Structure 1
Amino acid sequence: MKKEVEKEKKPAIKVSRDGPFIVRDLKTLRNSKGTFIETVPVMALCRCGASKDKPFCDGAHTKNELSGEKEEDRVPDRTDSYVGENITVHHNKGVCSHIGNCILKLPEVFRKGQKPWVDTEAAKPEEIAKVIRSCPSGSLSYTINGELHKDYPHEPEIFLVKNGPYHVVGGIELDDPDGSKPETKDHYALCRCGASKNKPFCDGTHLDTEFRDRIN
């Protein structure tokens, strides 16, 4: 009798209170240069920003007294919709990591410093949708023909942004003791500088604090 093939365990991330991200069963971890980092079944990834062994935790959070609490003056968790003739763009600024893919790739649509921020008629719907699918935090999504698009198929992976957050893709479950849920399970951005007001998610504060990797 043939033995049943053991099902591959799905990767998961547990947010330890005031401590690191405990990552289990992840096969793919890459640094900001795209180089694969060797993984083990259980890893502790730094989220205080002070580890000397980034991306791994070295216990520095116990010295700098990392707090995993969300701050009251964080950007509100609220979705605004920009309705166009052929596409509606949805934006939850509260989970935006401010990587800037949208502004860099389609500045005529995603208009920095202008109101309304999104001009849905400034590009073809498929061009806008393509850029939205590159949003790493899940803050952007879109509706076409009455169908909401916010989840896109990926293989499970964590990718380190240079001097920025962890980009998580592929439906990796996030277990936060405080009950925080990502905007979409498919892709989200986790803070690793220790200063986000919306922990465990990145809110772009790494730009203000000039967080730096050990990788140049």
Structure 2
Amino acid sequence: MTEDSSARGPSDQQRQRKRIIVRHNGPYEPDPGIPIADHLGVPIAAEAPVRLCRCGQSQTKPFCDDSHIARGFTGARDPRRVPDKLEIYAGQQAYVFDNRGTCAHSGFCTDRLNSVFHLGEEPFIAPSGARFDDLINAVRRCPSGALGIGMGPARDANLSDVDRPPQIEVSKDGPYRVTGHVELVDEDGMPITGNAGASQEHVSLCRCGSSLNKPFCSGMHWNVAFHDPVPDPMREPTLFEWAGGYPALLDMTRIFYSRYVPEDPLLSPLFAEMSPDHPERVAAWLSEVFGGPRFYTERYGGYRRMVSQHIGKEIRPEQRALWATYMVQSADDAGLPSDPEFRAAFVAYIEWGSRIAVENSGAGAKPPPNMPVPRWWWVCNATPAARPPAIAGDAHAANEVSLAVPGPGEAVQFEPHIRPLFRPMDRNSMLFAFDLWKEADVAKHCRQILARLEAGTMPCDGAWPAEQVALFARWADALEVPT
């Protein structure tokens, strides 16, 4: 006789699973101890008990401020939602599973493996259009859990999912991406089940309040133009932020060490004994180097630890060159930004860092042990805002300035009225001489600046409109009036 599994008590794994309570017409309440991070992988501090907004209206996003009460938010599913239907696509190497009713439309599959996933076409999936490992990676990257893969006509969780600790990622302008087998329950502790074939390891939860498939994301954040607060447009982004943060860099390093290293006869011996979490370590190092949090130092030990991994390895120049080539290719594969400014800085570090590694790995080398982790920046002031783009539409947008005009009788002031006139690219082009975002510098050179503005020779990509020149002239004239 066999024991009826439904009569058994919960297993140890089930008892230990973290939970998120989905309050009726209210917020999400995750169990204590589930880390919350932003879309860059940076932890978000939160005091217990945590209440996460799901109506989309909170002024303290991602946390709830009870706006759902004033809004009359409802957590009911919409009858117009995409039907719950699991599609099975048979290929030469594997079966791929998809439920459009679960999809959150993040675009990871169609953007990164369009030989298999065909946006707006039928059939949507062509399972024989890519290598087996690429299929697995695409399925695992699907944040909603809509995709699955198996060797037979049943979803194989061991292939489709990654064993990760619980975490909630607050995606940019999008859903909460929950990973790590976190259980969703209602106020009575009853499980909230997903659609057919949905992953039990990862799920996307609505954050905009408009999903047709609540509490799961249906991609409606695109339709309702849901946005998080916009960061300071005057602050230059770090390379870490521009790259997409730790998740993007981890995607890149996983591709590098799973796709290129094992198949290369020169590189595979170097990494034959690497730890299973080596891609995570490299991603943490690059995150810190590119201006992000001190992930590597805090998790693994900093510069001394990194250097110790190279000592005695005697890395050859041809191995270094291949490492750099494959790393750049992996950045392409992972969809890291391809703009010239980012790639100039990215490739510069890959070249510099790999050459330092060769030097430190040589016979008899004694690298200084207590150096700080290098902090890389945009090279030669080549930032994304340092030049006008060549595409006409983008160029127009880059040249637009939000003009704050002082009211009747209001004095022209530097911070609200003058500083916003100067774009990041204007500032960068003049930093060799002075800073256009510092009032003292602009006041000191205001007559020279005004003369160039009136002559149309500043900025370099086109003259200011007359009203902007007039506003700057008013401010300059006021500086010379005795008080």
Asked if TM exceeds 0.5, the reply is yes
Cα distance in 2, alignment partners of residues 208 and 124 from structure 1: 34
* Partner of residue 219, structure 2: 204
Using structure 1 for the length normalisation, give the TM-score: 0.91
CA contact (8 A) 1:87 1:144 kept: yes
CA contact (8 A) 2:167 2:179 kept: yes
Q: Deviations over 1:61-104 (max 9, x none)?
A: 01111110001110011100111111111001111100010001
* Partner of residue 16, structure 1: 23
Q: Which of 82, 86, 97 in structure 2 is aligned with 1:90?
A: 97
* Partner of residue 4, structure 1: none
Identify, as 1 or 2, the structure richer in helix: 2
> How many angstroms does 1:145 deviate by?
5.3
Using structure 2 for the length normalisation, give the TM-score: 0.42
- Give 1:158's aligned amino acid: I
- Give 1:180's aligned amino acid: I
CA contact (8 A) 1:29 1:36 kept: yes
* Partner of residue 5, structure 1: none
- Give 2:88's aligned amino acid: S
Q: Which of 181, 203, 208 in structure 1 is aligned with 2:193?
A: 181
Tell me if 1:166 matches 2:173: no
Cα distance in 1, alignment partners of residues 17 and 127 from structure 2: 37
CA contact (8 A) 2:78 2:212 kept: yes
Cα distance in 2, alignment partners of residues 215 and 52 from structure 1: 13
Cα distance in 1, alignment partners of residues 67 and 209 from structure 2: 11
> Which ranges of structure 1 fall in alignment gaps of 5 or more residues?
1-7
Secondary structure of 2:128's partner? coil
> How many angstroms does 1:129 deviate by?
1.2
Cα distance in 2, alignment partners of residues 125 and 10 from structure 1: 31
Q: Structure 1: which 4+ aligned runs deviate by more than 6 Å?
A: none
* Partner of residue 78, structure 1: 85
- Give 2:123's aligned amino acid: P
- Once superposed, what is the RMSD of the aligned Cα atoms? 1.8
Q: Deviations over 1:11-60 (max 9, x none)?
A: 31000000000111134111123221113442100000000000100010
Count residues in correspondence. 209
CA contact (8 A) 1:10 1:25 kept: no
Q: Which of 162, 165, 186 in structure 2 is aligned with 1:152?
A: 162
* Partner of residue 117, structure 2: 110
Moved more, 17-26 or 171-180: 171-180
Tell me if 1:50 matches 2:65: no
Q: 1:99–1:105: structure 2 CA closer, same or farther, 3 Å change rule?
A: same
Moved more, 125-134 or 48-57: 125-134
* Partner of residue 236, structure 2: none
CA contact (8 A) 1:96 1:137 kept: yes
Cα distance in 2, alignment partners of residues 84 and 75 from structure 1: 25
> How many angstroms does 1:194 deviate by?
0.2
CA contact (8 A) 2:95 2:153 kept: no
Identify, as 1 or 2, the structure richer in strand: 1
Moved more, 199-208 or 119-128: 119-128
Q: Which has the larger radius of gyration?
A: 2
* Partner of residue 3, structure 1: none
* Partner of residue 127, structure 1: 134
Secondary structure of 1:207's partner? helix
Higher relative contact order (CA 8 A, sep 6+): 1
Cα distance in 1, alignment partners of residues 227 and 30 from structure 2: 22
CA contact (8 A) 1:12 1:25 kept: no
Q: Which of 186, 206, 210 in structure 2 is aligned with 1:191?
A: 206
